[in-house]
Amino acid sequence: MLPLRPSPSLSRRGFLARTSTGLAAAAASRMLPRSLNAAAEPRRIGIVLAGLGNYSTRELLPAIQESQHLKLVGVVTGSADKGVAWAREHGFPERNVWSYADMARMADAPEAELVYVVTPNSLHAEHSIAALRAGKHVICEKPMAISVAECDQMMAAATAANRSLTMGYRLHFDPYHQELIRRAQAGTDGPYLAMSGGFGFTMGRKVWRAERALAGGGPLMDVGIYALHEACLAAQADPVALTARERPKKRPDLFVDVEEALDWTMEFANGARADLFTSYADNMNRFRAEGARGWIELEPAYSYRGLKARTHEGPLTYPVVRQQTLHLDALAVALRQGTPVPAPATLGRRDMVIIEGIYESARTGRRVTLRY
Ligand code: NAD
């Protein structure tokens, strides 16, 4: 029986336990010499990439190739030719090239144990549920889906299949973010009561990320989610209420049915606040958390590499890591050992409750109380 969490709500204790377990697993996996790891985990977990776009090709494929506990054993793609090319290049059988409509047939491939869903946001629920029903564990990219109702359906499918459903929240495995989490848990700077920052970039041309049908929303679904997730990590809690405001569009032709930029403020039960921002019209990649005794600031905060951070005591410097490799290896170890999985679906659902609250507040102009 896998450590699935039946309740969609996320207690602080449960969150801390899962986060620290995931981090401990990552640290343990880094500390063990390769030979010992191999002895403890004789067979690699077979992973399937569903969606062979930019993130899969440029970041996840190299991460899997570097991992100690995973092996690419198949792909799900809309292009059979591309799938066959991947099979030849990466040494898995051509029968393990599935189409999206064909995902049920993955049940016939026991070597495929874990499916990584890396398709546009509005397809995450459909593809995750198809993989779970085929008996596979799933790691899903952010955002988990495009509504809380979809998140609930995904979690119900995971429970029914007795399979694990987790999120690709790679920053849990970045050393700068681990330091932020460590300080927050230890109360090094006092509880973080004032948080700020955001994530945005200038979108040059219309892509699926700016279409409601595929993206579910605008920059909030795509990159703003990082800032709200980070604030919850720093606060070590889930927000209880929020207010949000959509900025006037500078390019309404590009952002027809999604927001172009949003500001929002999240309130926590202990009085902490997070003032955050997301945009497809402005560049920002920053997070700051302040407590009574000190502060930490990350900028760039959410990138794959090249993060920088400083505290009131000076700059922090950590080695460059591949976040995704550490994350995937920790997930593989947890799945093998039956221990709590990193970045469980409860976190993805929690973030979707917040996202729905932000859109509701921006639409109505009212303060929204959050219920998980
Ligand atoms: P992309 O456009 O490069 O790739 C999307 C893939 O989905 C393509 O292979 C495309 O063919 C496939 N697809 C399947 N059905 C489709 C359909 N109906 N319409 C369009 N494409 C379809 O996108 P990406 O940048 O790889 O993003 C994919 C997912 O990964 C998104 O959910 C995104 O939020 C997430 N992502 C996460 C990170 C991260 O750091 N965690 C980074 C980038 C992307």
Q: Does 3 map to a domain? A: no
The pLDDT value recorded for residue 4 is 32
pLDDT tens digits for range 307-317: 999 999 999 99
pLDDT tens digits for range 245-272: 999 999 999 999 999 999 999 999 999 9
Task: State whether 200 and 167 are in the same domain.
Answer: no
Task: State whether 357 and 221 are in the same domain.
Answer: yes
Q: How far is the CA of 160 from the centre of ligand 1 (A)?
A: 27
Name the residue at shortest CA distance from atom 7 of ligand 1.
119
Pocket test for ligand 1, best of 77, 99, 102, 118 (most atoms within 8 A of CB): 118
In the chain, how long is the greatest CA-to-CA distance? 59
Task: State whether 222 and 159 are in the same domain.
Answer: no
Predicted TM-score (pTM) of the model is 0.91
Q: Does 6 map to a domain? A: no
Structural domain of residue 190, as residue ranges?
Answer: 175-320+352-369
How many alpha carbons lie under 13 Å from residue 206 in its C-beta half-sphere? 11
State residue 128 phi and psi, 5-degree precision.
-65, -45
Q: What type of residue is 122?
A: S
pLDDT tens digits for range 167-220: 999 999 999 999 999 999 999 999 999 999 999 999 999 999 999 999 999 999
The pLDDT value recorded for residue 157 is 98
Task: State whether 195 and 275 are in the same domain.
Answer: yes
Task: State whether 218 and 303 are in the same domain.
Answer: yes
Task: State whether 132 and 248 are in the same domain.
Answer: no
Q: Does 162 map to a domain? A: yes
Task: State whether 126 and 182 are in the same domain.
Answer: no
CATH number at residue 197: 3.30.360.10
**Looking at the 3D structure of the chain, how many domains does it have?**
2
CB burial readout 263-302, b (16+ within 10 A) else e: bbbbbbeeebbbbbbbbbbbebbbbbbbbeeebbbbbbbb
pLDDT tens digits for range 37-62: 444 446 899 999 999 999 999 999 99
Q: How far is the CA of 142 from the centre of ligand 1 (A)?
A: 10
Task: State whether 215 and 151 are in the same domain.
Answer: no
Cα 358 to chain centroid distance, Å, stands at 18
Task: State whether 144 and 16 are in the same domain.
Answer: yes
Instruction: Give the pLDDT band of residue 34 (cuts 50, 70, 90).
Output: very low
Task: State whether 122 and 241 are in the same domain.
Answer: no
**Which residues does ligand 1 sit against, CB inside 6 Å?**
51-56, 78, 118-121, 123, 141-142, 168, 170, 208, 214, 222
Name the residue at shortest CA distance from atom 35 of ligand 1.
141
CATH number at residue 100: 3.40.50.720
pLDDT tens digits for range 338-363: 999 999 999 999 999 999 999 999 99
